[in-house]
């Protein structure tokens, strides 16, 4: 026993010394990690960002991506290049991003097509819409509009349905490819209208070629996002018959909703948003989310979108992830209920 006032010093064992060293190193690494997150966010981006638009130039997804990305580039102080990788209803572009390096420099202008329709169909995908992506934010919500070739002798939805039934297999309808936004929308329409067996689907490599085909009378009708269609409708090249949303579009106030036109159970609204590869640092995702939110507040961006019939919309990464999951479940249910054949 030590005497009164003696100091007792406990020397650590070799095991104790090792644990102390380990804990000290762990605390230092944790401290550096916490410091590194804001530092990473401040450093990013330091070179060009590539935003994959999984559709050809001129389609709805491409139109929205270009409008918002232009403002995002200013906010981030970086160049954003739009890389169009159209085909397969957006699946080619989505696959490219799903397998890209998670460094924030390869991003996806995703949509209801890449993350709801294609996965909901009996189509083998090379990516997982949930596990392979880090959702950033919604870009916009867009109603679909049913249009016909200007020479088709119909003035409303009921006349189109009657013509299809009177002359089976003579009317072709276009889409932007199997599993695309427009394919799901138009497949839902022909199923709801009871003309699925009387009409013929012709898929194209994106919404823009599908619109061109309808204007050229290669196909007689098309149902897809209103974005990009307004100029052709105003010029008279396409005749709009109905809007797929709950309310009429401010861009086309004279066009009735599907419910007003005679199909009360039909509703199909597209969504578009920004996604990064899974594993992207949360600080980068946060920085990108902030840029989307700020871009969608810009009056010029709002005007450019609404002129095209597009309603800007954004949310948090967590909210967007939940939204994607809900949309995927919804469209899987719809595809099953309506017995949609998305392989043709």
Secondary structure of the chain in HEC code, one letter for each residue = CCCCCCCCCCCCCHHHHHHHHHHHHHHHHHHHHHHHHHHHHHHCCCCCEEEEECCCCCCHHHHHHHHHHHHHHHHHCCCEEEEECCCHHHHHHHHHHHCCCCCCCEEEEEEHHHHHHHHHCCCCCCCCCCCCEEEEEEEEEEEEEEEEECCCCCCCHHHHHHHHHHCCCCEEEEECCCCCHHHHHHHHHHHHHCCCCCEEEEECCCHHHHHHHHHCCCCCEEEEECCCCHHHHHHCCEEEEEECCCCCECCECCCCEHHHHCCCCCCCEEEEEEEEECCCCHHHHHHHHHHHHHHCCCHHHHHHHHHCCCEECCCCHHHHHHHHHHHHHHHHHHHHHCCCCCCC
Q: pLDDT means per 10 residues in the chain (344 residues)?
A: 35 46 49 51 88 89 94 97 88 96 98 88 83 97 94 96 97 87 86 92 89 96 88 94 89 93 85 97 98 97 90 95 93 75 55
Question: Are the beta carbons of 135 and 224 closer than 8 angstroms?
Answer: no
- At 123 the pLDDT is 62
Q: Burial code of 134-149, b = ≥16 C-beta within 10 A, e = fewer? A: bbbbbbbbbbbbbbbb
- At 97 the pLDDT is 98
For the stretch 30-50, pLDDT in tens is: 554 554 445 555 689 999 999
- At 344 the pLDDT is 52
Domain architecture of the chain: domains with CATH: 47-142+270-337 (3.40.190.150), 143-261 (3.40.190.10)
Question: Are the beta carbons of 256 and 265 closer than 8 angstroms?
Answer: no
For the stretch 179-213, pLDDT in tens is: 777 888 888 899 889 999 999 999 998 888 999 99
**Six-digit token pair at 74?**
């200013």
Torsional sign, CA 315, 318, 322, 328: positive
- At 16 the pLDDT is 47
Compute the distance between CA of residue 4 and CA of residue 213 in angstroms, rounded to an integer. 100
- Report, in angstroms and rounded to the nearest whole number, the Rg of the chain calculated over CA atoms: 26
Compute the distance between CA of residue 185 and CA of residue 270 in angstroms, rounded to an integer. 9
CB-CB neighbours of 304 under 10 Å? 19
- At 86 the pLDDT is 85
- At 177 the pLDDT is 83
According to DSSP, the residues that pair with 175 across neighbouring strands are: 203
CA-angle at 326, arms to 189 and 337, nearest 5°:
40
CA-based nearest residue to 132, from 319, 279, 285:
279
């Amino acid at each position: 026993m030590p005497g009164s006032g003696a100091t007792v010093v406990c020397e650590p064992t070799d095991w104790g010394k090792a644990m102390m060293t380990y804990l000290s190193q762990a605390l230092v690494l944790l401290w550096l990690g916490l410091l590194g997150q804001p530092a990473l966010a401040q450093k990013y981006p330091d070179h060009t960002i590539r935003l994959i638009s999984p559709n050809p130039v001129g389609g709805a997804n491409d139109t929205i991506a270009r409008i918002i990305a232009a403002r995002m580039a200013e906010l981030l102080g970086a160049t954003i290049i739009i890389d169009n990788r159209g085909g397969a209803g957006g699946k080619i572009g989505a696959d490219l991003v799903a397998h890209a390096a998670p460094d924030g420099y390869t991003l996806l202008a995703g949509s209801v097509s890449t993350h709801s329709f294609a996965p909901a169909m009996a189509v083998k995908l090379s990516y997982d819409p949930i596990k392979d992506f880090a959702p950033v934010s919604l870009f916009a919500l867009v109603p679909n509009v049913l249009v016909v070739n200007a020479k088709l002798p119909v003035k409303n939805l009921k006349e189109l349905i009657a013509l299809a039934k009177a002359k089976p297999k003579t009317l072709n309808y276009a889409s932007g490819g199997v599993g695309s936004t427009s394919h799901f929308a138009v497949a839902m329409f022909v199923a709801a209208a009871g003309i699925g067996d009387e009409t013929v689907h012709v898929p194209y490599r994106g919404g823009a070629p599908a619109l061109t085909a309808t204007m050229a009378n290669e196909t007689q009708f098309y149902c897809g996002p209103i974005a990009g269609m307004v100029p052709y409708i105003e010029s008279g090249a396409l005749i709009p018959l109905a809007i797929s949303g709950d309310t009429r579009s401010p861009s086309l106030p004279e066009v009735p909703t599907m419910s007003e036109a005679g199909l009360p159970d039909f509703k199909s609204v597209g969504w578009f948003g920004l996604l990064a590869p899974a594993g992207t640092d949360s600080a980068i995702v946060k920085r990108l989310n902030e840029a989307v939110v700020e871009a969608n507040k810009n009056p010029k961006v709002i005007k450019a979108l609404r002129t095209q019939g597009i309603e800007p919309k954004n949310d948090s990464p967590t909210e967007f992830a939940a939204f994607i999951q809900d949309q995927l479940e919804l469209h899987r249910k719809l595809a099953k209920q309506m017995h949609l054949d998305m392989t043709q």
